[in-house]
Amino acid sequence: MKLKKLQPLTNDYLESIGFVWHTDIDNSSYVANEVVEISEEEANTYYEACNELYDMFCEAGEYVIENNLFHEINIPFNLVEIIKESWENDVHWHLYSRFDLAGGVDGKPIKLLEFNADTPTSLFETAIIQWALLKANNLENVSQFNNLYEALKENFKRIITLDTDTNKFEEYYSKLNWKILFSSISSSSEDINTTKLLQHIASEAGFNTDFEYIENVQFSDEGIFKDEEAFEFWFKLIPWENIAIEEGELAVLLTEIVKEKKAIIFNPAYTLMFQSKGFMKILWDLFPNHPLLLETSFEPLENKKQVEKRCFGREGANIKIINSDGSIELETSGEYEGHRAIYQEYVELPKDMEGNSYQAGVFYAYEACALGFRRGEKILNNMSKFVGHIIK
C-alpha cells in the first residue's frame, strides 16, 4: 500500500460538522491521518468493477425471486412478500449501497467480499470527511474517486423521475409535493447524524423532508405518520432483518403499506436479498469462475483456505478463517450464530508495511461513485479505521 501522511482534522472541527464518532473506545482516532495513494487506472477499475457487479446482482435477484430461493439465502419469511412487491414495481428505488472488496491496488485483482446494500456504514466518512482531510492539508485540487454527495442528490431526484434524466425533477415534483420522513434509532449518534446528512442531501435535491426517531413514528394500514402527518416516502436507517426478527408485527404492517401503495420505503425491501451473504452463493452458481467473484458455498469448500461467515453477520462477528486442512486459523464470537453460514474462498487483503489489512469500500448510487478504505487486522471489526484516498 502506498500511503501519504497528512495533518489530522481536529476533533473540534469534526464535531462542528456533526461527526461525533471520531474517537474509538481505546481513545485512538477512528479516522486515519494518512490516505491511500491510487492511480487513475485503479480508480477506473474500481468504478467499472462495481457497475458490472451491480448488473450481476440484479440478474441474480430476478433468479432468486423466480425460483423462490428466499429460504436458501436466509431471508425471514415475513419479508418475502414485501421483497416481491418492491422488486416488481420501479417506484421502489435503490438509493445507495456499498461494495466491500479485496484487492484493486498494487496489481491485485478486485474480488467481491460482500455487498452492504441495505444500511451501509461509513457514508459520512466517505462523502465528507476524506474530502475535508484533503482540503485541510491544502490538497483540495487533488483528485478523488468521490462523487458520493452529488450522486446521492441525483438519485434522490430519481425517486420522482424514475429516469436517468433528473432535469425533469422540479416539473414533476411541483405537481406531487411528496415528503420524505427520515428515521434512525435514538441511541446511536452515528446513525442519527448519518440519517440527518441524507436528509440534508434530499432537502438540497428539492424535497420537503422531516426527521423522527423510529420509536416515535406511527404506522397504520393507512400509511406512515409523524404527529398525524402522512409521508409518501420513508427512509429508515434500520436493517430490514432487524425489523423482521425483532418487530414482526411491523414487518407485516409495512408489507400492507407497500402493497396498498400508502408509502414507499428506502432502501427497498429487496435490498435485503443483496445484503445476505448467502447471495454470494447464488452469484457463484450463475457466474462460476467470474474474475470478480470468490467461490462460495453453503457447505465447507474442499481443500481450500476459506472464510465462514453468517448471512447477516456484521462488524466482523461470528467469522472463522479456516485453513485448507480444516484447522481454524482465526475465529471471532458474536450474536449472529443463529443465521445460516456460508463458506467463501479466502483472499489476502492488501497490507501496509506494518502488516495492517486494507479493504476497499465502493459506494453505489445509480452507479459506482466513491471509494474509501477500512484498515485493521485480518478480520475487520468495529475498531477498524477509516482511511481516505487520493489519486496520484
Digitized pLDDT (tens) for each residue of the chain, 392 residues in all: 899 999 999 999 999 999 999 999 989 999 999 999 999 999 999 999 999 999 999 999 999 999 999 999 999 999 999 999 999 999 999 999 999 999 999 889 999 999 999 999 899 999 999 999 999 999 977 899 999 999 999 999 999 999 888 998 998 888 888 999 999 999 999 999 999 999 999 999 999 999 999 999 999 999 999 999 999 999 999 999 999 999 999 999 999 999 999 999 999 999 999 999 999 999 999 999 999 999 999 999 999 999 999 999 998 999 999 999 999 999 999 999 999 999 999 999 999 999 999 999 999 999 999 999 999 999 998 889 999 999 99
Q: Indicate if 202 and 334 belong to the same structural domain.
A: no
pTM of the model as a whole: 0.96
Q: Indicate if 194 and 224 belong to the same structural domain.
A: yes
Q: Indicate if 101 and 172 belong to the same structural domain.
A: yes
Is 48 contained in some domain? yes
Beta bridge partners of 224: 219, 231
User: Which grid coordinates belong to 235?
Assistant: 427512509
Q: Indicate if 252 and 120 belong to the same structural domain.
A: yes
Q: Indicate if 202 and 338 belong to the same structural domain.
A: no
Q: Indicate if 193 and 106 belong to the same structural domain.
A: yes
Q: Indicate if 334 and 372 belong to the same structural domain.
A: no
Question: Domain limits at 339?
Answer: 295-345
Is 282 contained in some domain? no
Contacts of 215 (CB under 8 A, 6+ apart): 185, 186
Peptide bond into 267 cis (omega under 30): yes
Is 114 contained in some domain? yes
Is 287 contained in some domain? no
Residue with cell 452507479: 367
Q: Indicate if 94 and 139 belong to the same structural domain.
A: yes
Is 281 contained in some domain? no
Beta bridge partners of 101: 112, 360
**Opening angle at CA 193, ends 189 and 197, nearest 5:** 170
Distance CA 178, CA 386 (A): 36
Is 339 contained in some domain? yes
Q: Indicate if 227 and 324 belong to the same structural domain.
A: no
| Positive/negative CA dihedral, 272, 296, 53, 384 | positive
Is 286 contained in some domain? no
Ramachandran class of 74: left when φ > 0, alpha when ψ lies in -120 to 50, beta otherwise? left
User: Which grid coordinates belong to 309?
Assistant: 461467515
CB-count exposure of residue 77 (10 Å: 0-12, 13-18, 19+) = exposed
Contact present, 255 and 82 (Cβ < 8 Å): yes
Q: CA separation (Å) from 1 to 6, 144, 183, 350, 359?
A: 16, 17, 38, 7, 11
Distance CA 263, CA 257 (A): 6
Own/partner contacts of 195-198, CB < 8 Å, gap of 24 or more, are 195/235, 195/237, 196/18, 197/18, 197/123, 197/124, 197/127, 197/128, 198/123, 198/152, 198/235, 198/237
Q: Indicate if 74 and 204 belong to the same structural domain.
A: yes
Q: What's the number of domains the chain is made of?
A: 2
Q: Indicate if 187 and 320 belong to the same structural domain.
A: no
User: Which grid coordinates belong to 223?
Assistant: 400509511
Q: What is the DSSP letter of 7?
A: P
| Positive/negative CA dihedral, 91, 272, 128, 370 | negative
Is 284 contained in some domain? no
Distance CA 162, CA 324 (A): 48
Contacts of 107 (CB under 8 A, 6+ apart): none
Q: What is the pLDDT of residue 261?
A: 96
Q: What is the pLDDT of residue 140?
A: 78
Q: Indicate if 222 and 315 belong to the same structural domain.
A: no
Distance CA 260, CA 277 (A): 30
How many residues comprise the chain? 392
Distance CA 350, CA 339 (A): 29
Q: Helix, strand, coil % (nearest 5) of the chain?
A: 35, 25, 40
User: Which grid coordinates belong to 175?
Assistant: 405537481
